[in-house]
Amino acid sequence: MSFVIRLKWFFQQRWGSYALAIGLMSAVSLLTTIPPKMIGNTIDHIRKGDLTASGLNQTVLLLVCLSFLLYVMVYVWITTLFGNSALVEKLLRGRLLAHLTRMTPGFFQRNSTGQLMALATNDILAIGQTSGYGVMTLVNTLVGASVVIVMMVTYISAKLMLAALIPLPFLVLVISSLGKKVRVRFLDAQASFGKMNDHALESISGIRVIRSYVQENDDLHAFDAMTTEVRDKNKRVSLLNALFQPLISLIVGVSYSIGIGYGAYLVFDGQITLGQLVSFNIYLGMLIWPMISFGEFINVLQRGSASADRLQTALAQEADLKDAQKPVELDVPASIEMKALTFTYPTAQQPSLDHISFRLERGETLGIVGRTGSGKSTLLKQLLRQYPVDPGKLYLSDVPVEQIAIDRMKSWVAYVPQEHLLLSKSIRDNIALGKPGASTEEIERAVEMASFTGDIAQMPEGLATIVGENGVMLSGGQKQRLAIARALLINSEILLLDDSLSAVDARTESRILHHIRLERAGKTTLISTHRLSAVSHANWILVLSEGRILEEGTHEELMLHGGWYKEQWEHQQMQASLEE
């Protein structure tokens, strides 16, 4: 039942085609009861010796026509019904992806990629099967069996029918208890399948690290253990599934025995004719399929509803972040301000930012420095609106961010993350990610700004070169500059550079920063870095330590202050001159 409720929207939307398919299936069931009746009648005529040639011809012709009619009807309902199956899969995959794109990092920490992939593939497939094949088996069982039973009662003998169907309730009992077990085992198998997906993903994406630490064999063993587990669990499912068919054959065998034994007695007793006995046995044969169908239906339904439950659990998770109900309209962010902002990651115990306050006017540059793990990236991420911020802590143009529409805010921000995310497309498409319609001149200009032109000239196909999965073809510094070009192309109000120049040499770095300063005059930029020279020009510099502001000021002020910043600066300057 839960399955029907979960997919109510779909059944409502497609009720017309379901009605057509079910109507045709029922008509087919009705029509297929005619031939056995005709065969029985013909036998009785033969027995009585009053079969005429024209009568026989008529019967044969009718049987042939009926076969053709059934052919067409079956074709139509199969395509209609299974078309629905394919459609529901498509719709659900679309829903799932749309949901995933709305989710924030918290969701992806709770749900692993492998589990989500299992949902998109196996689970949605199982749901599709239930809404096509499942419906077919249900209709077959209900309509097929009742039509046959009605024919048996009206044309042959109720007594014989009841006797032959004595084993049936037993079958229903066993099947429904098996069905429950199938569901439990299937859920278990799907969960393992998800885990195996996770492992495969990690092995493939981390293959270079695994190889460099010579862990291939260990990884293979671990993966082998996973696949064995998946196999064992699927085997446990199919062991139960395998019980259905023989069980049905057994019951059918008993039914046949009763049918022929008791039926023969009734013929001798003159209660039914020989023709009727033949028809009855054909009808009994026609009950096998509805019975198998019933088993299959329970089976498919259990799997489908288990999968629908899993899918629902994922879809029901809301983004941690609520959009503003009545957003305040802002044209441009005239300032960015944090007022004693404290932030703790959902999975963390300790805050990663602790009472951070600063104010930045439009057009200014903020430098963020500090030891590794001090909270630089976390501070920049606050502007991406991925995690909820405590109300009244972060302001744009003096409006608290929770009153600004998330999409609006995102449209102002260009972000160059610390760890690069490239798509396995061409360099051009990767750069134009945020502005797909960009002209070649615009792209070339962004590339020039990021000092990436020389590298592209070296590539086999220039801008059209495919970078491979997550940019395997590019060096670390090339990936960084590609990401910078991507961010510069959209010429956003706010630019976040998260340690984005760590892999380029000092000279390239200062050239890129010079370009950025010229290009982005009047726009706001936030730069986090380990190399202090990258922020010495900034209007304000924050030195973080364990999420707190340790020192702050302009470069000159910090140098006068004589703390961590001065010490680092001198250290880095000395190193630079040694390298020269």
User: What is the binding site for ligand ATP (CB under 6 A)?
Assistant: 345, 347-348, 352, 370, 372-378, 418, 499
β-sheet bridge partners, residue 338: 358, 394
Binding segment for Mg ion (CB under 5 A), chosen from 47-55, 103-111, 372-380, 454-462, is: 372-380
Q: Which stretch binds Mg ion (CB under 5 A): 54-62, 199-207, 375-383, 440-448?
A: 375-383
- What are the two backbone dihedrals, phi and then psi, of residue 442, each rounded to the nearest 5 degrees? -60, -45
378 binds, among ligand ATP, Mg ion, none (CB under 5 to 8 A by kind): ligand ATP
The entry of ligand ATP, Mg ion, none near residue 375 (CB within 5 to 8 angstroms by kind) is ligand ATP
256 binds, among Mg ion, ligand ATP, none (CB under 5 to 8 A by kind): none
Q: Name the minimum Å distance from CB 138 to ligand ATP.
A: 47
DSSP string, 191-202: HHHHHHHHHHHH
Q: Which partner in ligand ATP, Mg ion, none is near 510 (CB below 5 to 8 A by kind)? A: none
Q: Judged by CB under 5 A, which stretch of 251-259, 334-342, 370-378, 514-522 contacts Mg ion?
A: 370-378
CB of 497 to ligand ATP, least distance (A): 12
CB closer to ligand ATP out of 156 and 544:
544
- Least Å distance, CB 579 to Mg ion, is 24
Q: Which is nearer to ligand ATP, 302 or 378 (CB)?
A: 378
- CA–CA distance, 561 with 366 (Å, rounded to integer): 18
Instruction: Name the 3-class secondary structure at 483.
Output: helix
Nearest approach, Cβ of residue 542 and ligand ATP (Å): 11
Q: Does 418 bind Mg ion (CB under 5 A)?
A: yes
Q: Residue 532 has what DSSP assignment?
A: G
State in angstroms the smallest separation of the CB of 420 from Mg ion: 13
- How far apart CA 83 and CA 26 sit, in angstroms, is 19
13 is a contact residue toward Mg ion (CB under 5 A): no
Which residue in this structure is represented by tokens 């990629």?
113
Q: Which amino acid is at 247?
A: L
Contact call for residues 158 and 149 (beta carbons, < 8 A): no
**Residue with smaller CB distance to Mg ion, 373 or 468:** 373
Cβ 479 to ligand ATP shortest distance, Å? 16
Rounded distance, CA 188 to CA 168, Å?
Answer: 31
Q: CB 423 → Mg ion: shortest distance, Å?
A: 22
Span of 187-195, 269-277, 414-422, 571-579 interacting with Mg ion by CB under 5 A: 414-422
- Minimum distance, C-beta of residue 387 to ligand ATP, in the bound complex (Å): 9
The rounded distance, in Å, linking the Cα atoms of 189 and 226 is 11
From 18-26, 326-334, 374-382, 479-487, span contacting Mg ion (CB under 5 A): 374-382
Site for Mg ion in 198-217 (CB under 5 A): none
Closest to 106 (Cα-Cα) out of 343, 407, 420: 343
Query: Angle CA(84)–CA(88)–CA(91) in degrees, nearest 5?
Result: 135
465's tokens? 């070169």
Work out how close the CB of 411 gets to Mg ion at its nearest, in angstroms, rounded to a whole number.
24
Measured CA to CA in angstroms, residue 56 lies from 45, 49, 66, 280, 404 at distances of 10, 13, 15, 21, 83
* Backbone dihedral angles phi then psi of residue 552, each to the nearest 5 degrees: -155, 160
**Residues 305 and 3: beta-carbon distance below 8 Å:** yes
User: The tokens of 490 are what?
Assistant: 């959209």
Question: What is the total residue count of the chain?
Answer: 580
CB nearest Mg ion: which residue? Answer: 377
Alpha carbons 542 and 368: distance in angstroms, whole number: 5
Nearer to ligand ATP, 335 or 545 (CB): 545
Which of the stretches 232-240, 368-376, 474-482, 486-494 binds Mg ion when contact is defined by CB under 5 A? 368-376
**From the list ligand ATP, Mg ion, none, partner contacted by residue 373 (C-beta under 5 to 8 A by kind):** ligand ATP
Binding mask 224-243 for Mg ion (x = CB under 5 A): --------------------
Q: Which does 372 bind (CB under 5 to 8 A by kind): ligand ATP, Mg ion, none?
A: ligand ATP
Q: Work out how close the CB of 209 gets to ligand ATP at its nearest, in angstroms, rounded to a whole number.
A: 18
Position 545 contacts Mg ion (CB under 5 A): no
Q: What whole-number distance in Å separates Cα of residue 336 and Cα of residue 360?
A: 5
Task: Please tell me the distance from the alpha carbon of residue 540 to that of residue 556, in angstroms, as a whole number.
Answer: 10
Residue 277 vs 496, nearer CB to ligand ATP: 496
d(CA 431, CA 478): 12
Instruction: Give yes or no for a contact between 295 and 241, defined as CB atoms under 8 angstroms apart.
Output: no
Cβ–Cβ < 8 Å for 22, 136: no
Question: Count residues contacting Mg ion (CB under 5 A)?
Answer: 3
Q: Which residues bind Mg ion (CB under 5 A)?
A: 376-377, 418
